[in-house]
Structure 1
């Protein structure tokens, strides 16, 4: 079966799958009684999902040009939030901002050796900012945080362009389902018993029950899209779990609860795409594709 056929199959299934889940979710949150503690929060989250889903699907339906625009837009906002949490200066922020736009653009225009060369230039620039300023006190920390941010955000988001359209679409939808599944699993199964154990000290509220919920939801999403394979499912699940924990680690050291405050129900953009970033990296590293 050709990659083009599989990509078309995923795209054809994406609209009814996402639309059906959003519709069912909208009815469910609208019907919640007023006494439910998280009623207002869940409604805000649903409205954010309802706005974000068409933007994500629409961009990827436009092909690699749309994926490039989506990756650049997400990257510019995400690196700004990360730079603020990491305490980076204007020079490092500039390097990350340029990378957020340049890497997806080059991945679209000339994937391969040129992208690797640009990545090398950006890595050198990330280190050069602190070196040229002669920062002996915090230069190594700033350079390290900038290098991490380059790989975590712009390089990962370039995967939306480098991966086949069907793969990028399946990963994005599966990660979104996984986030919802993790919340449902943690709420339903994470109160007592062995599944109530915290997954990591980095985020005590994240339990093994949430991992079970995410595993079930990501598998269901990939199956509904006709894109399920064991390796793709494992890559998406590992990325979803690790991405959440990595952002918790960054936020804990920064002393903040959320990466931002502008995204209703979630906080900042990084709070919404943290799992997607690592899922894309895992899929690119494993080489699994539709």
Structure 2
């Protein structure tokens, strides 16, 4: 399993790093579009749309993402996705409705189109602002995840959401937040590779409010992670798919990004 996981990670890095660092924005957008379509397919599968239904759903998502490129501004998409994560995300985690049945299933299938389109626009919009900017945005989620893993392993005692994801702890969440704060402050002090998400937020809001916004983004990275965990638990599966051997599915890799991306871009105006 470890060997498979490492090989998959190397292949992904070999594809994504050169495209992110050196390819034109159009090529980056095409690659992210492929990621979004696969994630949409997995989303539909978790909502029990069936084999054919999931493929059709992913195809519609692809068409809608392409059509959304004609929008003058992606802000309405960020707003719609932001409202979903601010309202529906916490509600679902607290009340735990059955997501793949009835009105919730219809709602989430419809919301998915907005969520994935907003994700695509946010990443491409961030890439337009620069390689350092898009990497700094992704780094918020990566650091929160890595910090949470190691802090949870070392200090984790109090379960964060035992009925949804038993492995997550409050200590891990705090450790992830601390990792983001340390790197953010260091980036602001050193003023390297600007513009970054951190420098843009600080310039617009001031350092104190920027760090508060980053705290909110870290919190919603946890919401995104737990939301997908709940989808999987209710669907009775460990991974969203087997597309990435050793890593699960595409949605497993981007779940925490789904709320963070539109909220970050929305807050930047």
TM-score, scaled relative to structure 1: 0.65
3-state SS of the aligned residue for 1:205? strand
Counterpart-to-counterpart distance in 1, 2:252 and 2:165: 13
**Corresponding position of 2:113:** 150
**Corresponding position of 1:51:** 11
* Aligned partner (choices 242, 245, 269) of residue 264 of structure 1: 245
Distance 1:179 1:46, change over 3 A: farther
TM-score, scaled relative to structure 2: 0.69
Larger Rg: 1
Distance 1:46 1:208, change over 3 A: farther
* Contact 2:240–2:252, Cα closer than 8 Å, also in 1: yes
Distance 1:214 1:105, change over 3 A: farther
Residue by residue, what CA displacement relative to the aligned partner does 1:175-232 show, whole Å, maximum 9, x if unpaired? 2232222211111111xxxxx2111232121101221221133334544565334255
Distance 1:252 1:139, change over 3 A: closer
Q: Does 1:218 align with 2:180?
A: yes
- Where does structure 2 lack aligned partners over 5 or more consecutive residues? 81-100, 199-209
3-state SS of the aligned residue for 2:245? coil
Q: Does 1:167 align with 2:127?
A: no
Distance 1:177 1:141, change over 3 A: closer
3-state SS of the aligned residue for 1:204? strand
Report the alpha carbon displacement of residue 280 of structure 1 after superposing the two structures with TM.
0.5
* Aligned partner (choices 240, 245, 266) of residue 285 of structure 1: 266
3-state SS of the aligned residue for 1:264? coil
* Aligned partner (choices 239, 249, 265) of residue 220 of structure 2: 239
Higher relative contact order (CA 8 A, sep 6+): 2
* Contact 2:224–2:256, Cα closer than 8 Å, also in 1: yes
Q: Alpha carbon RMSD of aligned pairs, Å?
A: 3.1
- Where does structure 1 lack aligned partners over 5 or more consecutive residues? 1-39, 120-137, 191-195
* Contact 2:44–2:53, Cα closer than 8 Å, also in 1: no
Distance 1:170 1:114, change over 3 A: closer
* Contact 2:40–2:61, Cα closer than 8 Å, also in 1: no
* Contact 1:218–1:236, Cα closer than 8 Å, also in 2: no
